[in-house]
Amino acid sequence: MTSIPEWFKERFPSIIELTRFHATEYPTPPNLNYSWAFGVLIMVFFMVQVITGIGAAMFYKPDAALAFDSIERFRRHVHWGWLLQSIHAVGPTFIFASIYAHIGRGMYYGSYKAPREIIWWIGVFLLMAMMMESFMGYVLPWGQMSYWAGTVITGLASVIPIVGDTLVTWVRGDYLLSDATLNRFYSLHIALFPLAMIGGLIVLHIMALHDVGSNNPVGVQPKKENKVPFYPYYVVKDFYVVALVFTFFLFIIFFYPNLFLEPENFQKANPALTPPEIKPEWYFLPFFAMLRSIPSKLLGVIVLWLSLWILLFLPFIDRSPVKSGRYRPVKRWMDAVFFVNFALLSYLGAHPPRGAYLAAARVATLVYFGYFVLLFIVSLYEKKPDELTMYENEPSRITLHAGSSKAIWLGILIVALGALNIRAFTFDFPSKETIDKGKAVYEAKGKMCHDMFFVGEKAMLSPEDRLSMLGILPPDISLKSKSMVERSPREFLSQFIGKIPEGSKMAVVFTPEEVDQLVAFLEYSSDPSIFLRGRIGPWVVFFMSVFTVLLYLLYKEVWRLKYLSLERFPAA
């Protein structure tokens, strides 16, 4: 009987050869550590973004009057819409965390050096494309921070001499962000960038990588006969890493879905009201800090772009023949300072550019660019280490990536996942009884002052309850627990406990118990999926934890059985 692979090989032989070359039989160095799994993580999270984005695109309306409401209705009224929306909103955080870790690993181990310069350049262009894709997606929710961040970023093009203002108008499709902006950003976000640009660059990145082969922590390539096929050895290892990261990812989705989201963005865009501080998502903050540290707008934009484009010249800046930072002690310290400085820039980008923050941002910007200048100088004069000479000229060894510390790492893994499960199963979701009492407090003391437009029948409010006196729509508090910026709803309501606030025209007071109940109702009104998340979240985290441990044991066992009697491999 003909097997399925043989059946396909007779009718479509090129697809079988393509799969063998790029997936199953691709020869891989046997000593790759866990940092090489970040590339797979990027690809997996990108696929997740595409899948969840398709679901969200079916209900999104690129209209300035409807965009904000359409996302809320998708999250509240579409089956599992809350899950798709949360995954799509939190996904970029994990993508960019993986991207920065992937780039950092490449910088430390010299993966930009010959013959991998093209791989590095494609990767840098992928970073830029991902940033543009994420920026356009950030504008689409049409919240306060989306609108004003979009206004600031698109306005940067105005610094271009002669054509700057015209270019800004062309990008926006109007003089201000409007329906035209949403339509073109929506089209680019769901079509051109994810499919044509990012998808194409990912394919080219993988093809270029597999043509010249993967780098490794030592920087010396083993002989072909000493390499291992990608399947099953690195497939099971990458599956384990993906499962581990997804366990933490799903924990955030179910228990802290708004952890990485800007509270201001839960208020509908208002062109007449500027937020106190306009800032982008965290993964743009290092570059945002460099932009704001320069007093000249034109020079700031030049520094912003140069901070990305300089990465393209890294293969020419670093002149050392040594690849791995493992054998370059000076560069190892420089890399550590560079990574810490990058994190510091991210912190400074989240604070206003004045006083000590501004001074620190300027110093950190100099350190960022100083790294590349110093690397060029160091690479010319640093002494070639004896360790590498041994690797190149003697019958040296490359250590197999399958250590004997399985029990230790398995114990750490189980303890970490166990702590995550304890937190998941003991997470304090508000009870239905408390929420019902909070609704009664709202009806008695709040509905005449505030509407809950997005809740409606979800909060068991009758249509007449949602109408105010004289037909005037009162301020909506459907998203109040998410949109509080300076203080939480509990802190806000606490000022009304037991007394009439000074200067208030309404004698509305709350007992401490009523504050707890009203806060629970506000949390529910902001996120009606709270019951479902509390019911299934702990079991999802538990399943992923068990699955991760089993994949870890499988990964270690596959390597142990294949190389039971081998510990090292001769280098080329």
d(CA 496, CA 498): 6
DSSP annotation of 79: T
State the catalytic residues.
Answer: 210, 214, 237-238, 281
pLDDT in 10s for each residue of the chain, 572 residues: 667 777 777 777 777 777 777 777 888 988 888 999 999 999 999 999 999 999 999 999 999 989 999 999 999 889 999 999 999 999 999 999 999 999 999 999 999 998 999 999 999 999 999 999 999 999 999 999 999 999 999 999 888 888 889 999 999 988 889 899 999 999 999 988 888 778 889 989 999 999 998 998 888 887 777 788 898 889 999 999 999 999 999 999 999 999 898 888 998 998 888 888 888 899 999 999 999 999 988 999 999 999 999 999 999 999 998 888 888 899 999 999 999 999 999 999 999 889 999 999 999 999 999 999 999 999 998 877 665 554 544 334 444 544 446 678 888 999 999 999 999 999 988 888 998 888 888 888 777 677 777 776 444 444 444 444 334 456 778 888 888 766 677 777 776 666 655 555 556 777 888 888 888 888 888 888 898 999 999 999 999 999 999 999 999 888 877 665 444 444 43
> Contact at 8 Å (CB) between 106 and 123?
yes
Q: How far is CA 189 from CA 95, 130, 134, 135, 155, in A?
A: 16, 10, 8, 9, 19
Q: Check residue 395 and give its pLDDT.
A: 37
The CATH class of 1-278 is: mainly alpha
Q: Write the CB contacts of 279 (distance below 8 Å, at least 6 apart in sequence).
A: 145, 149, 262, 285, 288, 349, 350
Q: How far apart are CA 539 and CA 421, in angstroms?
A: 9
How far is it, in rounded angstroms, from Cα 67 to Cα 60?
Answer: 7
pLDDT at 396: 40
CA dist., res. 107 & res. 31, Å (int): 18
- Strand segments (E) across 322-477: 397-399
CATH architecture designation of domain 281-396: Orthogonal Bundle (1.10)
* CB 399 within 8 Å of CB 31: yes
Tracing tokens 């505030």 back to the chain, one arrives at: 450
Nearest to 87 by CA among 143, 131, 48: 48
Specify burial of residue 249 (Cβ count, 10 A radius: 0-12, 13-18, 19+). Answer: buried
Amino acid 161: pLDDT: 87
- Whole-angstrom distance, CA of residue 528 vs CA of residue 84: 14
Query: What are the residue ranges spanned by the domains of the chain?
Result: 1-278, 281-396, 432-528
Q: Write out the DSSP string of 533-568.
A: HHHHHHHHHHHHHHHHHHHHHHHHHHHHHHTTT--E
Distance CA 487, CA 502 (A): 19
Q: Which two tokens stand for residue 333?
A: 């310290």
Please give the DSSP secondary-structure letter assigned to residue 221: P
Q: How many whole angstroms separate alpha carbon 107 and alpha carbon 330?
A: 14
Global pTM exceeds 0.95: no
Coil, strand, or helix at residue 27? strand
Q: d(Cα 423, Cα 420) in Å, to the nearest integer?
A: 5
Q: 397: which strand partners?
A: 570
Parallel, antiparallel or unpaired: strands 397-399 and 568-570: antiparallel
| DSSP-assigned states of every residue in 252-277 | HHHH-TTTTS-GGGGSB--TT---SS
| First and final C-alpha spacing in the chain | 43
Q: Are 215 and 166 in contact (CB under 8 A)?
A: no
For residue 498, what pLDDT is reported? 65
